[in-house]
Amino acid sequence: MGQGLQTAQGLPQIQESYATSNVTVFASSKPKTYAGGLVGIGAGTISNSYATGSITGGNKDNLGGLVGGSENTAISHAYAVGAVSDSSYAGGVGGRIKSPQFDRVYWDTDTSGRTSACGRDRTCNGAAGLTDAQLKSGLPDGFDPKIWAQDPNINNGYPYLRNNPPQ
């Protein structure tokens, strides 16, 4: 995983981080379970980060490639490529995202199985779906080559962080 969690004004900041683990919600008795590739539920800032693991849950769970649920979260220069299981509230980026602030956020429309960025509260402007080939053919628009790198033999060809390469 990434370089760690930082805080500013009491809100978490996730910077130059990644997650590769698969996430599974098991027989939840609560209808508002949140699961994401990088964050389950929270608020704050996520920048220059990505998630590659699959997200699996039930029909009423809030599932997202990056974030399961959040409010007023700012996400920039990030992407998700993991499969997100069918749910009423599943999105390529987030499950339930209220008032998001997205800038250069992407999800893989082929591997995720999702056609929309967010499952609930679908006003996820600033996020764009790309095909698997597009994500592997060059850095996404707006990704800084001083921070990000890409090599077909590293990270399955997806962009990775220069200062925090995948293990």
Q: Please state the domain extents for the chain.
A: 5-153
**Confidence band of 30 (pLDDT split at 50, 70, 90):** low
For residues 122 and 50, which has the higher predicted lDDT (pLDDT)? Answer: 50
Q: Looking at residue 43, what is its pLDDT?
A: 75
Q: Which amino acid is at 84?
A: V
Tokens of 128: 């764009």
Q: Whole-angstrom Cα distance, residue 119 to residue 88?
A: 7
Q: What is the pTM of this model?
A: 0.90
Model confidence pLDDT, tens digit, residues 98-134: 888 999 999 999 999 999 999 876 678 889 999 999 9
Q: Which amino acid is at 157?
A: G
- 49 touches 76 (CB < 8 A): no
Residue 37: pLDDT above 70? Answer: yes
Q: Looking at residue 7, what is its pLDDT?
A: 37
Question: SS3 for 95?
Answer: strand
Question: SS3 for 93?
Answer: coil
